[in-house]
């Protein structure tokens, strides 16, 4: 039978799908006929998102809770997915958190947990599902980094570095996948309305006070469209795109001063 929608017959795993950008990314895929596997820690919210999207878009949505920041979280999640008899065609690595403030005196578990979730779990899941994608010659990975990926971030140092890792890793995989039919895109949002900023404590910074904040659906739409087109890097918003393009051209010392000022208390 011919497909009515481009995603029919395929399943996308979206991490961090209980709230924020992940919910809207999941909706973009559901609208195009993909079945969903949604994961995060908050069972009630996750189930509500799965119920809403499956009934709105007539697709199958499975909610599976997992703490991806815990060691082996990715393997544990993949085990549950396999047990449920599901296959992952597209992986959206969206779950992540940030933490604002000086590195000195900061909590080690918070800093290292950020690397565990933003980077380690992302690589762990990608490594599990990558061979199947290459073998099928379709599907792919949509990683969520940030405009923070383009510059070092004094007073939010580990978060910026964790997102630089995501950007570098994604671009490298994009090249490795060339000609295979597998897509790789890195979505780099600027400040976006979600729980992220409250959780990260960025509200008191100059950036938190002055930055233009985008709604999460246009951010997700840009990421989804970019993934469909196999666009290597997607920066949301014209101003963010210009700043990210200019960043490598400016002296690093000057950039550090600008970001330091933006990440300092207002």
Q: What is the contact surface with ligand NAP in residues (CB under 6 A)?
A: 16-22, 40-42, 67-69, 94-98, 117, 144, 146, 189, 191-192, 194-197, 199
Q: Where are the beta strands (DSSP E) in 98-168?
A: 140-144
User: 225 with 175: CB under 8 angstroms?
Assistant: no
Question: Where do we find the tokens 């899941």?
Answer: 125
Smaller CB distance to ligand NAP: residue 189 or 226? 189
Beta bridge partners of 111: none
Question: Where do we find the tokens 């890195």?
Answer: 186
Question: 159 catalytic, yes or no?
Answer: yes
Q: C-beta of 153: minimal distance to ligand NAP in Å?
A: 12
Smaller CB distance to ligand NAP: residue 4 or 45? 45
Task: Give the span between the Cα atoms of 190 and 81, in whole angstroms.
Answer: 32
Cα 223 to its chain centre, rounded Å, is 9
Q: Where are the beta strands (DSSP E) in 7-139?
A: 11-15, 35-40, 61-65, 90-93
Q: Which residues of 13-38 are buried (b: 16+ CB within 10 A; e: fewer)?
A: bbbbbbbbbbbbbbbbbbbbbbbbbb
Smaller CB distance to ligand NAP: residue 23 or 133? 23
Smaller CB distance to ligand NAP: residue 54 or 216? 216
User: 165 with 203: CB under 8 angstroms?
Assistant: no
Q: C-beta of 72: minimal distance to ligand NAP in Å?
A: 12
Q: Which one is catalytic: 34, 129, 159, 160?
A: 159
Q: C-beta of 218: minimal distance to ligand NAP in Å?
A: 13
Beta bridge partners of 40: 65
Q: C-beta of 151: minimal distance to ligand NAP in Å?
A: 13
Q: C-beta of 85: minimal distance to ligand NAP in Å?
A: 22
Smaller CB distance to ligand NAP: residue 11 or 143? 143
Would you name the residues annotated as active-site residues?
159
């Amino acid at each position: 039978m011919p497909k009515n929608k481009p995603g029919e017959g395929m399943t996308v795993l979206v991490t961090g799908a209980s709230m924020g950008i992940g919910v809207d990314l999941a909706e973009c895929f559901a609208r195009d006929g993909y079945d969903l596997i949604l994961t995060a820690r908050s069972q009630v919210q996750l189930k509500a998102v799965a119920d809403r999207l499956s009934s709105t878009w007539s697709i199958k949505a499975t909610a599976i809770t997992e703490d991806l920041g815990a060691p082996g979280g990715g393997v544990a999640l993949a085990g549950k997915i396999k047990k449920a008899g599901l296959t992952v065609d597209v992986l959206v690595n969206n779950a992540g958190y940030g933490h604002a403030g000086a590195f000195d005196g900061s909590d080690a578990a918070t800093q290292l947990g950020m690397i565990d979730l933003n980077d380690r779990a992302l690589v762990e899941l990608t490594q599990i599902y990558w061979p199947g994608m290459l073998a099928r010659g379709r599907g792919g990975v949509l990683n969520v980094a940030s405009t923070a990926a383009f510059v070092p971030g004094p007073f939010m140092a580990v978060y910026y570095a964790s997102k630089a890792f995501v950007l570098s890793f994604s671009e490298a995989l994009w090249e490795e996948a060339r000609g295979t039919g597998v897509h790789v895109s890195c979505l780099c949002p600027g400040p976006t309305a979600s729980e992220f900023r409250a959780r990260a404590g960025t509200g008191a910074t100059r950036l938190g006070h002055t930055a233009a904040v985008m709604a999460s659906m246009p951010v997700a739409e840009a990421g989804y469209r970019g993934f469909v087109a196999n666009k290597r890097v997607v920066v949301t918003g014209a101003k963010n795109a210009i700043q990210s393009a200019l960043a490598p051209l400016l002296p690093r010392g000057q950039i550090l001063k600008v970001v330091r000022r933006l990440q300092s208390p207002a």
